[in-house]
């Protein structure tokens, strides 16, 4: 049996037998109480009597950033032993911590992504700091805070700023006692400010320093250290820490809590190396570490937060009125709308709220979401081009990762800009979905219910029209409708794609009657169901006055293609919004998304549904939505207890009384063609007085005058800055 001695800074001795690399090893721990002379005596006493000696918390070298210095006392300790190797953990700490971060990230993808990291301290944790910094977040160092109580020193910042002060910092620390270099848990003589800790999402470094200098409130934070004890976990749990990750291999089994320090692990590896004469070089350590079969321990300390699958969703103002309604921007109502809309597009993405309470009644899986918004309206997205919106969405993706989300859903116009999510998915580490698969499924289910409510008894004998048929939503809607109804009219401004879609439907559904056109025109006159799914602005998508009595129009577009004034011209026609969804559980969006409480847009519901199923993958992307995806998402919809919300028209639920009125009018028009002709003629004249528009945007001859935009930008920035100053 091999024997190792570990000398540590605290008081207390203990001896235990551990199994490591398939061998039994006696580990004797002796506390020196911070007394270096006692450490010297014990090294001399045990030289030749044990196979390795580990110095826990007594480093021979100090490294901070790129600067290194020998510690005046520590550098002399290893040389006191003439036979037994003396190590302090430096040989394997950086390597195992880098490896541990990779393994932990594989076990819980995204656990370190885009986080704000505070190194507590960065001293002798170069590998850990570098690996965490590569995860894309912001990294700061608490070393000036810890060692000199200087919270505003340049070192409390980036690695670059730390490098400027690293050398003078080490010059002051190279003669410091070990208890100052490696702080232990307890109350500090001088309390440190809480602000740097509050800034951080993740605290990394030494457990003793974190417990000593961090504030008592650390809610929702992650702590990453080389090792920890049960007492450490209890303390962090009481402070509200969500997760603790220990990066050293456990002596109790794979994935168990890492209780052994880097010095102990290095001593074990040295004692158990196959060739006792092998030099303690980097190559030797690499070979030794390669023999380890281990995984870092990840412990969730708050039961109510454990096991929650997290997602994010991005929305944006559909028109300038949405900007005015947001409490932080109410002051914009005093500025010209065109200029507010133009300037808001440049605002950085904003975090809005946390979505809570979602839970599957089937599996019990809980979900939590984060709601973000862009500042651009659809018109501004179109004006700026797709690359502008891609950049904003990439920022949202990084913000979502920082929150712990593993899937981002693209809401409203963000799901149709450019290539409908493909580029954003390619450029982001987080999974992306447009939500359009469930949008299609919910739309078709809502349309079916609406047509039945309006009196249809045999849908297979009806006729349907899809406007925007070559779009991502319209094309798959058309293909699925053709299977149910068989007689479809496809309308799109892309004639070559219409031809291709017609051929696809005829091949998939033999016997289907497919009519194609670049304009709806009079083709709508005998359609029972019309689905509009366009991305058009400043146009009249459909002339509602030409519709068949009792027709149903399902407006999928967001913002909508049809406005209330147009719909009022034909009170016998039922205009509904696309299917909206009830997410199971006591769902709370934390923000008014423009729907009744607990009611979600289908695209948001798809994102939450994928999280509930644990499908953190790119799902609905691009313009070629497959019918297989639509059918699969609908199966998941049923599996997890999602439900279609009640039918709505222009923000109001449709009652049976509303439907009865429309049915009576439709019956009258069918029974009296002359009456119907007069109604259509009157409606046509009234339609001429309604501005041509789509998605609430009127036909326009251009944007606001260029000279006014810089002035508005300055006014907007000034007012926003003043508001932030008042609330900071």
With respect to residue 703, please indicate whether it lies within any of the assigned structural domains. Answer: no
270 within a domain of the structure (yes/no): no
Q: Is the pLDDT of residue 568 over 60?
A: yes
* Cβ neighbours of 677 (radius 10 Å): 11
Query: Is 707 inside a domain boundary?
Result: no
DSSP 637: H
My answer on whether 563 and 498 are in the same domain is yes
Region of residue 324 (left: phi > 0; alpha: psi -120 to 50; beta: else): alpha
169 CB-near residues (< 8 Å, 6+ apart): 64, 67, 143, 144, 147, 148, 155
**Same domain for 158 and 182?**
yes
| Co-location of 426 and 454 in the same domain | no
Reading the block at residue 359, the tokens are 């839970």
Alpha carbon distance 525, 543 (integer Å): 10
Residue 160's pLDDT is what?
58
With tokens 């999510």, the residue in question is 421
What local confidence, expressed as pLDDT, does residue 724 receive? 46
- Do residues 574 and 591 share a domain? no
**What is the per-residue pLDDT across 625-644, written as a single tens digit (0 to 9) for each?**
889 999 999 999 999 999 99
Distance CA 123, CA 181 (A): 9
Q: Is residue 628 domain-shared with residue 663, that is, in the same domain? A: no
Answer yes or no: do 565 and 478 share one domain: yes
701 has a pLDDT exceeding 70: no
Given pLDDT bands bounded at 50, 70 and 90, which one contains residue 305? Answer: confident
CA 331 to chain centre: 30
Whether 704 is in a domain gets the answer: no
Distances from the Cα of 466 to the Cαs of 507, 638, 693, in angstroms? 18, 26, 19
The answer, yes or no, to whether residue 302 has pLDDT greater than 50, is yes
pLDDT of residue 715: 45
Q: Is residue 113 domain-shared with residue 144, that is, in the same domain?
A: yes
Asked if the structure places residue 706 within a domain, the reply is no
- Half-sphere exposure at residue 713, Cβ-oriented, CA atoms within 13 angstroms: 11
Q: Could you say which of 69, 88, 107 is where a domain stops?
A: 88
**Residue 675 falls inside a structural domain:** yes
Residue 427 belongs to a domain: yes
- The CA distance from 491 to 622, in Å, is 20
* Alpha-carbon gap, residue 449 to 469, rounded angstroms: 21
The answer for 622, left when phi > 0, alpha when psi is -120 to 50, beta otherwise, is: left
Question: What's the pLDDT at 535?
Answer: 74
Q: Is the pLDDT of residue 359 over 70?
A: yes
Mean pLDDT to the nearest integer, 29-38: 94
- High-pLDDT (> 90) share of the chain, %: 71
Compute the average pLDDT of residues 507-526. Answer: 93
Assess whether pLDDT exceeds 80 at residue 561. Answer: yes
Beta-carbon contacts of residue 120 (< 8 Å; ≥ 6 apart):
142, 146, 203, 204, 205, 206, 209, 210, 213, 214
Mean pLDDT in residue range 4-14: 95
Name the pLDDT band for 355 (thresholds 50, 70, 90).
very high
CATH at 528: 3.40.50.720
E-assigned strands of 173-307?
Answer: 202-205, 222-225, 243-246, 297-300
Residue 676 has what pLDDT?
A: 95
% residues pLDDT > 70 (the chain): 93
Same domain, yes or no: 399 and 493: no
- Is residue 515 located within the same domain as residue 533? yes
Q: What per-residue confidence (pLDDT) applies to 406?
A: 95
pLDDT per residue as tens digits for the range 201-236: 999 999 999 999 999 999 999 999 999 999 999 999
CATH of the domain at 162: 3.40.50
Q: Based on the fold, state whether residues 548 and 679 are members of the same structural domain.
A: yes
pLDDT digits (tens, 9 = 90+) for 49-93: 999 999 999 999 999 988 999 999 999 999 999 999 999 999 999
The token pair at 60 is 């021979």
pLDDT at 705: 40
- The answer, yes or no, to whether residue 151 has pLDDT greater than 70, is no
The confidence score (pLDDT) of residue 403 equals: 93
On the CB side of 343, CA atoms within 13 Å amount to 24
Report residue 255's pLDDT band, with 50, 70 and 90 as the boundaries. confident
pLDDT score recorded for residue 718: 40
pLDDT at 293 over 70: yes
Which residues, at least 6 apart from 399, have a Cβ–Cβ distance to it below 8 Å?
114, 312, 349, 351, 372
The predicted-structure confidence for 419-432, as pLDDT tens digits, reads as follows 889 999 999 989 99
CA dihedral 111, 112, 114, 116 (to 10 degrees): 120
Position 722 in a domain: no
pLDDT of residue 345 exceeding 90: yes
Q: What is the pLDDT averaged over residues 324-341?
A: 89
Token look-up 């429309």 returns 662
In a shared domain, residues 577 and 429: no
* pLDDT over 50 at 706, yes or no: no
pTM: 0.82
Does one domain contain both 573 and 613?
no
Residue pair 229/8 in contact (Cβ under 8 Å)? The answer is no
The total number of structural domains that make up the chain:
4
- In this predicted structure, what is the pLDDT of residue 242? 95
Q: How confident is the model at residue 713 (pLDDT cuts 50, 70, 90)?
A: very low
First-to-final CA distance of the chain: 62
Tell whether the model's pLDDT for residue 574 goes beyond 90.
yes
223: nearest Cα among 236, 213, 209, 208: 236
Considering 324-333, 514-523, 532-541, the range whose residues carry the highest mean pLDDT is 514-523
Check if the beta carbon of residue 575 is closer than 8 Å to that of residue 638.
no
- Are 290 and 296 a contacting pair, CB within 8 Å? no
Over 60: is that where the pLDDT of 704 sits? no
pLDDT in tens, 471-498: 888 999 999 999 988 899 999 999 999 9
Q: How many Å apart are CA 449 and CA 446, to the nearest integer? A: 5
Mean pLDDT computed over every residue of the chain: 90
Give the domain range for residue 254: 91-260+293-300
């Amino acid at each position: 049996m091999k024997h190792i001695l570990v000398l540590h800074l605290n008081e207390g001795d203990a001896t235990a037998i551990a199994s490591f690399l398939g061998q039994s090893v006696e580990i004797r721990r002796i506390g020196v109480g911070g007394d270096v002379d006692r450490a010297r005596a014990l090294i001399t006493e045990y030289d030749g009597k044990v196979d390795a000696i580990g110095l826990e918390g007594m480093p021979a070298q100090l490294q901070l950033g790129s600067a290194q210095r020998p510690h005046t006392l520590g550098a002399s300790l290893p040389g006191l032993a003439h036979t037994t190797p003396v190590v302090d953990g430096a040989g394997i700490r950086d390597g195992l911590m880098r490896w541990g971060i990779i393994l932990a990230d594989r076990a819980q993808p995204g656990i370190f992504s885009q986080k704000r990291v505070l190194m507590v301290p960065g001293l002798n944790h170069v590998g850990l700091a570098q690996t965490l910094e590569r995860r894309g977040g912001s990294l700061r160092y608490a070393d000036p805070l810890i060692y000199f109580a200087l919270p505003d020193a340049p070192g409390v910042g980036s690695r670059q700023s730390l490098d400027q002060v690293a050398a003078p910092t080490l010059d002051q620390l190279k003669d410091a006692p070990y208890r100052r270099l490696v702080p232990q848990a307890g109350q500090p003589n001088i309390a440190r400010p809480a602000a740097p800790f509050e800034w951080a999402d993740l605290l990394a470094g030494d457990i003793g320093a974190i417990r000593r200098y961090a504030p008592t409130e650390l809610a929702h934070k992650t702590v990453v250290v080389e090792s920890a004890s049960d007492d450490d976990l209890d303390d962090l749990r009481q402070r509200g820490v969500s997760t603790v990750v220990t990066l050293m291999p456990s002596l109790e089994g794979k994935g168990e809590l890492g209780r052994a320090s880097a010095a102990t692990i290095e001593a074990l590896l040295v004692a158990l190396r196959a060739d006792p004469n092998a030099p303690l070089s980097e190559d030797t350590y690499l070979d030794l570490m390669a023999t380890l079969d281990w995984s870092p321990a990840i412990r969730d300390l708050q039961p109510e937060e454990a096991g929650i699958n997290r997602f994010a969703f991005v929305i944006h103002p559909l028109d300038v009125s949405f900007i005015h309604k947001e409490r932080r921007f109410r002051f914009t109502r005093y500025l010209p709308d065109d200029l507010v809309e133009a300037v808001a597009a440049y605002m950085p993405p904003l975090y809005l709220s946390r979505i809570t309470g979602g839970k599957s009644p089937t599996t019990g899986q809980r979900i939590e979401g984060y709601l973000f918004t862009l500042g651009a309206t659809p018109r501004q997205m179109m004006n700026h081009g797709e690359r502008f919106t891609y950049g904003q969405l990439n920022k949202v993706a990084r913000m979502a990762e920082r929150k712990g989300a593993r899937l981002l859903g693209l809401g409203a116009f963000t799901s149709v800009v450019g290539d409908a999510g493909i580029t954003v998915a390619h450029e982001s580490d987080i999974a992306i979905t447009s939500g359009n698969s469930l949008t299609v499924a919910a739309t078709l289910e809502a349309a079916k219910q609406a047509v039945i409510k309006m009196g249809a008894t045999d849908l297979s004998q009806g006729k349907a029209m899809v406007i925007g048929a070559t779009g991502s939503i319209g094309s798959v809607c058309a293909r699925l409708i053709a299977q149910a109804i068989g007689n479809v009219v496809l309308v799109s401004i892309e004639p070559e794609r219409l031809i291709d879609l017609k051929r696809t439907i005829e091949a998939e559904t033999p016997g289907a009657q497919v009519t194609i056109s670049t304009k709806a025109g009079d083709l709508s006159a005998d359609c029972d169901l019309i689905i509009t799914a366009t991305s058009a602005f400043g146009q009249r998508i459909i002339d509602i006055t030409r519709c068949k009595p009792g027709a149903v129009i399902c407006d999928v577009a967001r913002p909508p293609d049809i406005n209330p004034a147009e719909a009022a011209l034909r009170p016998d026609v039922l205009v509904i919004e696309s299917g909206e969804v009830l997410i199971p559980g006591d769902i709370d969006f934390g923000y008014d998304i423009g729907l009744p409480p607990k009611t979600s847009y289908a695209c948001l519901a798809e994102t939450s549904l994928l999280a509930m199923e644990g499908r953190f993958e790119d799902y609905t992307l691009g313009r070629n939505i497959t019918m297989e995806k639509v059918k699969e998402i609908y199966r998941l919809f049923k599996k997890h207890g999602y439900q279609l919300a009640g039918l709505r028209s222009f923000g109001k639920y449709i009652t049976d009384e509303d439907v009865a009125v429309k049915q009576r009018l439709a019956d009258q028009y069918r029974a009296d063609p002359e009456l119907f002709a007069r109604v259509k003629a009157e409606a046509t004249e009234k339609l001429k007085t309604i501005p041509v528009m789509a998605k609430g945007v009127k036909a326009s001859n251009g944007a606001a005058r260029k000279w006014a935009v810089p002035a508005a930008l300055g006014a907007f920035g000034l007012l926003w800055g003043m508001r932030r100053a008042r609330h900071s």
